Amino acid sequence: MNWELTENGFNSEKIAHLGNKFLTGNGYMGIRGTLDEFDSRDLVAVNLAGIYDQVGNSWREPLNAPNGFYSYLIVDGNVLKVQDNAPKEHFIKLDYRHGIFKRHTEWTTKRGNIVLESERFVSMDDVHIGVEKYKITADFHADINFLTGIDGDVWDINGPHYDEIIMDEDDCISIVGISHEKKYHVAVSVSEDENFPCEKKIILKKEDKKIIKSLNFVSDINKCYEIHRFMAIYTSKDCENPLDNAKETAINIRNKGYYELRDEHCKCWESIWSNSEVEIEGDDDAMEVLNYSCYHLNSISPRHTDSLSIAARGLSGQTYKGAVFWDTEMFILDFLLMTNPKVARNVMKYRIDTLDGAKEKAKSYGYDGAFYAWESQEGGFDACSDYNVTDVFTKRPMRTYFKDKQIHISAAIVYGIGRYIDLTGDMTILSEGGAETIIECAKFYYDFLLKKVSGGYYELHDVIGPDEYHERVNNNGYTNRMAKYTFEQAVKVIDSIDELNEQYAIKLCKEYNLKQLKEKFEMAERNIYIPQPNENGIIPQFDGYFDLEDVSVNTVRSRLLDPKEYWGGANGVAAHTQVIKQADVVTWLTMFPDDVSDEIKLKNWQYYEPRTEHGSSLSACMYALLACKCGMKEKAYPLFMKSASADLNEGGKEWAGLVYIGGTHPAAEGGAYMVAIKGFAGIYFEDGKIKAKPDLPKAWKKMRFHICYRNKKYKIEIEDNNANIVEI
């Protein structure tokens, strides 16, 4: 399989897309696939995980560190930057087996040709470091100034975040940015190889927010000059003295040298792939897009800590405020559980550790229990704004209800904990706060329930389901079903209190009247209203859904007055129709396939699919999974490919109203993995065993992969729709 992506030529229109597509990351930081000479205008970002800042009333967003990989060439006095000086030849490559980004650019000048090649990575071995190697070759005696430095003018959506920029130089150069709101210190230091292959003159320049070293030399004809640079990043969240740590690291790693660091980094990637590579014989395209999806998930997995989650746009920048959504539990968690259960624990621990934030949010709306943040940042703070979309016509913020009405988020957390326990067998997470989290989520739904004076059911009113285009609806089937599941889980936890750590169990008994809670939750679980199929076998997505105008997605699209117009909300083109943004009832049936017969599953798939815009990258994988469950692998296949290609192909949705939402799509990538493993390979877990009901796409002759299950690792091979599952 070809583990390399190549993009030939330079096109300024593609800068945003390629920045995502060629991203390299290690869970601590993500570096967009931008060129050395790019600056903040070209969306350069060294995006840091789990560290946020706010300026004024703008949205809080994650911090981008100063860019330590900044460099460009001046040859015979001419600045050579691809944006201003069209190259003769140019390509970039991504080795996504090892997360290595490469560029090759050749310029023709008046006196001859000059080639710049570079190669860089952010280390999987030590997440604080990044290293870059440059090669400069000219076919004439070029008068070269190679300018390398740190650019403190970082790309911000709602910045600038650094009130102060401190520059420092001794054995290495450094910049410390001090953030506006929290006064975080973000330190970046860069050292370079001492063995520069010729006589050179170094001039240090500090200009505006940049600290730059200019290496000046005259090149020999066709001689290749190789330069290595060593970058280290620390923040005041990592240690007390980030600058000292960054400097020390940048100097220490120089002693190891580029090649040794690269070997160590590659070894880590090989070990990651020994769990996450999926081989597909007979369909190279599918194998490549699927492993490319796994590459992105591996690049953003927080391995370096024990309580951190994954943002909806990974580490590709500040879109979606660098916040954590239900995407992690419902779309990404299975990949983590099956390939790296320790990281799965980290992401669930993040939720448990942010329970206080969720309780505060519930309280602020007058509810009991835990209402998790729709867009979660540090401490569970909900970064979602009440005005989350900007109207294209009036340019005014629109009142949206994602934050206050998308209550299904709390159930996703409960689902995540349940799934974690099921696949790892590790109950200790319950005693580390998991039990309380589940109980608090159940308390929230209990408090949210309504019962009509005349009715026998408990209902959930005024919510938003996964399909965000229909706001403030009653009895969204997915939400009600997930709330029912939450009650079930809470009852289970209360029943198994004796299996928890003794001290913790005592604490819970003191804190809660467990007997009373159990009775309440059992009653709620029994009586919550779950929408049933109508006479045609179709489940209404919410009360009154079938009364809405039944038109095609294309008709709705044709009503747009502006391509960036928001489809949902009070006046959106989809709001008064049956056209939905993404899988909703279908997500429910994928999660709980035993709730209805196969015939009903199929009917609902067939009804909802043509009415779905797939306006979210989370949609295709859910339809693909249910298609597999309905025996329609040929329908599942294009949806699987779409999900797995979310970051390969241009043309994904980049705007919600006037708000930029571009970036990478980890949920689609995790979704693609689920379709391959749970859909086509048919893997499921029952009675403590891995089982499989494979139904591979026609072209797939064989499938091979590994999965982790309950502390053991298994090798799985599928051929002729038979699964061979061996413990290794």
Q: What's the first-to-final CA gap in the chain, in angstroms?
A: 24
Cβ proximity to ligand BGC, 103 vs 581, nearer residue:
581
CB 86 within 8 A of CB 10: yes
Tokens of 368: 């009991």
Query: CB under 8 Å to 502, separation ≥6 — which residues?
Result: none
How far apart are the C-alpha atoms of 425 and 541, rounded to whole Å? Answer: 34
Does 353 help bind ligand BGC (rule: CB under 6 A)?
A: no
Does 312 help bind ligand BGC (rule: CB under 6 A)?
A: yes
> Binding mask 561-600 vs ligand BGC (x if CB under 6 A, - otherwise)?
--------------------xx------------------
Does 545 help bind ligand BGC (rule: CB under 6 A)?
A: no
Which range, of 122-130, 197-205, 320-328, 529-537, touches ligand BGC by CB under 6 A?
320-328
CB of 656: closest distance to ligand BGC in angstroms? 7
Binding residue for ligand BGC, selected from 320, 350, 372, 521, defined by CB under 6 A = 320
Active site (annotated) includes residue 248: no
Cβ proximity to ligand BGC, 332 vs 630, nearer residue:
332
Does 616 help bind ligand BGC (rule: CB under 6 A)?
A: yes
Does 326 help bind ligand BGC (rule: CB under 6 A)?
A: yes
Number of residues that bind ligand BGC (CB under 6 A): 12
Cβ proximity to ligand BGC, 133 vs 405, nearer residue:
405
Cβ proximity to ligand BGC, 25 vs 466, nearer residue:
466
Cβ proximity to ligand BGC, 24 vs 616, nearer residue:
616
Does 618 help bind ligand BGC (rule: CB under 6 A)?
A: yes
Provide the H-helix boundaries in 277-384: 284-300, 327, 333-339, 341-353, 355-364
* Cβ neighbourhood burial of 222 (10 Å; 0-12, 13-18, 19+): exposed
CB of 312: closest distance to ligand BGC in angstroms? 4
- Give DSSP secondary structure letters for 653-703: --EEBTEE--S--HHHHHHHHHIIIIIIS-EEEETTEEEE-----TT--EE
Reply yes or no: is the peptide bond before residue 540 cis, omega within 30 of 0: no
Catalytic residue among 7, 37, 329, 468: 468
CB of 156: closest distance to ligand BGC in angstroms? 20
Does 48 help bind ligand BGC (rule: CB under 6 A)?
A: no
How far apart are the C-alpha atoms of 555 and 574, rounded to whole Å? Answer: 10
SS3 at position 512:
coil
Name residue, tokens 């029952």: 686
CB of 327: closest distance to ligand BGC in angstroms? 5
CB of 348: closest distance to ligand BGC in angstroms? 18
Cβ proximity to ligand BGC, 68 vs 357, nearer residue:
357
Does 325 help bind ligand BGC (rule: CB under 6 A)?
A: yes
648-677 residues near ligand BGC, rule: CB under 6 A: 667
Which range, of 94-102, 322-330, 348-356, 689-697, touches ligand BGC by CB under 6 A?
322-330
Binding residue for ligand BGC, selected from 432, 468, 525, 613, defined by CB under 6 A = 468
Does 119 help bind ligand BGC (rule: CB under 6 A)?
A: no
Does 53 help bind ligand BGC (rule: CB under 6 A)?
A: no
Cβ proximity to ligand BGC, 98 vs 321, nearer residue:
321
Cβ proximity to ligand BGC, 314 vs 341, nearer residue:
314
Provide the H-helix boundaries in 333-464: 333-339, 341-353, 355-364, 402-405, 408-424, 428-429, 435-448
Does 400 help bind ligand BGC (rule: CB under 6 A)?
A: no
Tokens of 5: 């992506």
Does 420 help bind ligand BGC (rule: CB under 6 A)?
A: no
Q: How far does CA 430 lie from the centroid of its chain? A: 25
Query: CB under 8 Å to 463, separation ≥6 — which residues?
Result: 405, 406, 407, 408, 472, 473, 474, 476, 479
Provide the H-helix boundaries in 95-135: none
| Count of CB atoms situated within 10 Å of the CB of 544 | 12
SS3 at position 128:
coil
Q: Give catalytic residues, as residue numbers.
A: 468
Residues near ligand BGC (CB under 6 A): 312, 320, 325-327, 466, 468, 581-582, 616, 618, 667
